[in-house]
């Protein structure tokens, strides 16, 4: 037990449960920062950051499985001296004046409840994190499409000068993009983009409702997952902590007795088993201490640098006013994704630096070569002031 939080009875306070729930997120942030600092000198650690969700889920899977097996509590709950207990409700007909909580009996966790606890603690958060990343990518793609349109062609000189005014020659990789796998992937991403906000709002709403009910002492379940599993989180007494230590010792002794083979092989297996247990034991405290040490050092040096040279922060200047459309110029189309010259969806979008308006490269190149001006503002310009926008690269 790392912390001892005050309170009466076996029911944890709201602040104990909130602290235990927020610990994995704080642990992940500290680990990400620590690995990022180490990756500055060890570039191969960037691969760990590329698969951050998988590595953190694997780490939590090992810690949660070991903690539930030995202490009947999650990793964060065991650090706060909490234990998970299966709820058994017994009907009380003798005295109607008894409190509702008097008919609740607690018992140890079953194997099914331990397995499902790992699912709710590790597997479901992992899938939610992946769905969140897919939703963010889909939202960025929709925002990009609303600004620039769905541009499937790259910037290729051959595609620009080999086409006519009203013809478009697609590149060869369009056949690959139109494959069944790509089409199915896009459909799945669009489905996730449409359904994830509702799913996220529902889970957050249920979480808030259960936390409010728990704070008002209207329920003994802190979350929907605990209610679905039929589990109460209780404080561990001193006797339970001692019993847990003895049970861990007996379990490890029985596992050593199950080792088979020659004496030298048993000794080797016993040493490996003892080393594994030692690593898991020290990981529960050493990991927390290490990452919070990194966070403390970050705060210390950042505060010192701010005290030594605190720059004066001024508000950013306002953006320049947009250019005015000339009366004799080409009017802007209502759809921003269309080219003002050809009134078609822009292909190889390019901007004129003197005005900032975007056109198809072939359209604006031909127009500026002939008239030496912007078609909308009529400001003088040259082909050297045309810039390709590489937003689709």
Number of domains in the chain: 2
Same domain, 45 and 116: yes
Instruction: Band the pLDDT of 257: cuts 50, 70, 90.
Output: low
pLDDT at 141: 78
Share of the chain above pLDDT 70, in %: 64
Same domain, 216 and 74: yes
Same domain, 122 and 43: yes
In a domain, 371, yes or no: yes
Same domain, 4 and 137: yes
Give me 25's structure tokens. 């997120």
In a domain, 42, yes or no: yes
In a domain, 194, yes or no: yes
Same domain, 259 and 383: no
Same domain, 73 and 219: yes
In a domain, 168, yes or no: no
In a domain, 156, yes or no: no
Cα 281 to its chain centre, rounded Å, is: 28
Q: Which of 10-19, 81-90, 102-111, 289-298 has the highest mean pLDDT?
A: 10-19
Q: Which of 19-33, 107-121, 252-266, 296-310 has the highest mean pLDDT?
A: 107-121
In a domain, 260, yes or no: yes
Which position has the higher pLDDT, 144 or 304? 144
pLDDT at 209: 93
CATH number for 343: 3.30.40.10
Which position has the higher pLDDT, 229 or 23? 229
pLDDT at 36: 82
pLDDT at 154: 38
Please say which residue of 264, 286, 302 terminates a domain.
Answer: 264
Q: Mind listing the pLDDT tens digit for each residue in 168-218?
A: 444 455 455 557 777 788 888 888 888 888 999 999 999 999 999 998 888
Question: Which residues, listed in sequence order, are joined to residue 106 by a DSSP beta bridge?
Answer: 87
pLDDT at 260: 60
User: Please, what is the angle between helix 238-257 and helix 263-308, to 10°?
Assistant: 140
Please say which residue of 264, 285, 300 terminates a domain.
Answer: 264
Give me 98's structure tokens. 């008894």
Same domain, 11 and 82: yes
User: Which domain range does residue 38 map to?
Assistant: 1-89+106-147+183-264
pLDDT averaged over every residue in the chain: 75
| pTM of this structure | 0.58
Which position has the higher pLDDT, 184 or 309? 184
b/e sequence 105-126, b meaning 16+ C-beta within 10 Å:
eeeebeeebbebbbebbbeebb
Lowest mean pLDDT among 1-5, 207-211, 258-262, 342-346: 1-5
Please say which residue of 264, 284, 314 terminates a domain.
Answer: 264
In a domain, 259, yes or no: yes
pLDDT at 249: 63
> Cα dist. 242→142, 232, 290 in Å?
57, 21, 27
Please give the average per-residue pLDDT across 350-355, as a whole number: 90
Q: Mind listing the pLDDT tens digit for each residue in 108-164?
A: 788 898 899 999 999 999 999 899 888 888 888 777 776 555 544 433 433 433 444
Same domain, 138 and 254: yes
In a domain, 68, yes or no: yes
Q: Which positions ≥6 away from 228 have C-beta within 8 Å? A: 120
Q: Which of 105-109, 218-222, 286-290 has the highest mean pLDDT?
A: 218-222
């Amino acid at each position: 037990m790392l912390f001892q939080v005050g309170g009466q009875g076996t029911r944890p306070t709201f602040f104990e449960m909130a602290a235990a729930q927020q610990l994995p997120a704080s642990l992940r942030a500290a680990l990400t920062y620590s690995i990022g600092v180490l990756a500055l000198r060890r570039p191969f650690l960037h691969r760990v950051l590329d698969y951050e969700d998988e590595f953190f889920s694997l780490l939590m899977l090992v810690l949660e499985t070991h903690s539930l097996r030995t202490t009947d509590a999650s990793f964060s709950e065991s650090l706060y001296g909490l234990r998970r207990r299966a709820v058994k409700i017994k009907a009380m007909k003798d005295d109607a004046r008894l409190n509702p909580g008097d008919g609740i009996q607690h018992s140890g966790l079953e194997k099914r409840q331990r397995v499902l606890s790992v699912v709710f603690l590790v597997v479901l958060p992992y899938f939610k994190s992946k769905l969140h990343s897919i939703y963010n990518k889909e939202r960025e793609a929709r925002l990009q499409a609303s600004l620039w349109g769905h541009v499937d062609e790259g910037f290729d000189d051959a595609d620009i000068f080999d086409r006519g005014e009203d013809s478009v020659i697609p590149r060869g990789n369009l056949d690959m993009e139109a494959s069944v796998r790509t089409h199915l992937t896009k459909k799945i991403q669009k489905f996730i983009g449409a359904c994830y906000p509702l799913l996220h709002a529902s889970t957050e709403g249920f979480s808030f409702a259960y936390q409010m009910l728990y704070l008002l002492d209207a329920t003994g379940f802190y979350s929907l997952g605990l209610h679905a599993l039929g589990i109460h989180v209780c404080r561990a007494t001193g006797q339970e902590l001692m019993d847990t230590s003895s049970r861990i010792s007996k379990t490890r002794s029985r596992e050593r007795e199950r080792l088979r083979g020659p004496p030298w092989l048993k000794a080797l297996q016993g040493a490996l088993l003892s080393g594994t247990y030692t690593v898991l034991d020290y990981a529960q405290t050493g990991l927390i201490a290490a990452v919070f040490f990194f966070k403390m050092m970050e705060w210390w040096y950042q505060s010192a640098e701010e005290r030594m040279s605190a720059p004066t922060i001024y508000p950013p200047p306002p953006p320049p006013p947009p250019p005015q459309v000339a009366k004799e110029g080409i009017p802007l189309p209502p759809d921003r994704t269309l080219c003002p010259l050809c009134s078609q969806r822009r292909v190889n979008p390019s901007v004129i630096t003197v005005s900032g308006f975007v056109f198809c490269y072939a359209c604006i190149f031909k127009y500026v070569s002939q008239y030496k001006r912007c078609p909308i503002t009529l400001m003088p310009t040259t082909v050297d002031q045309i810039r390709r926008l590489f937003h689709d690269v």
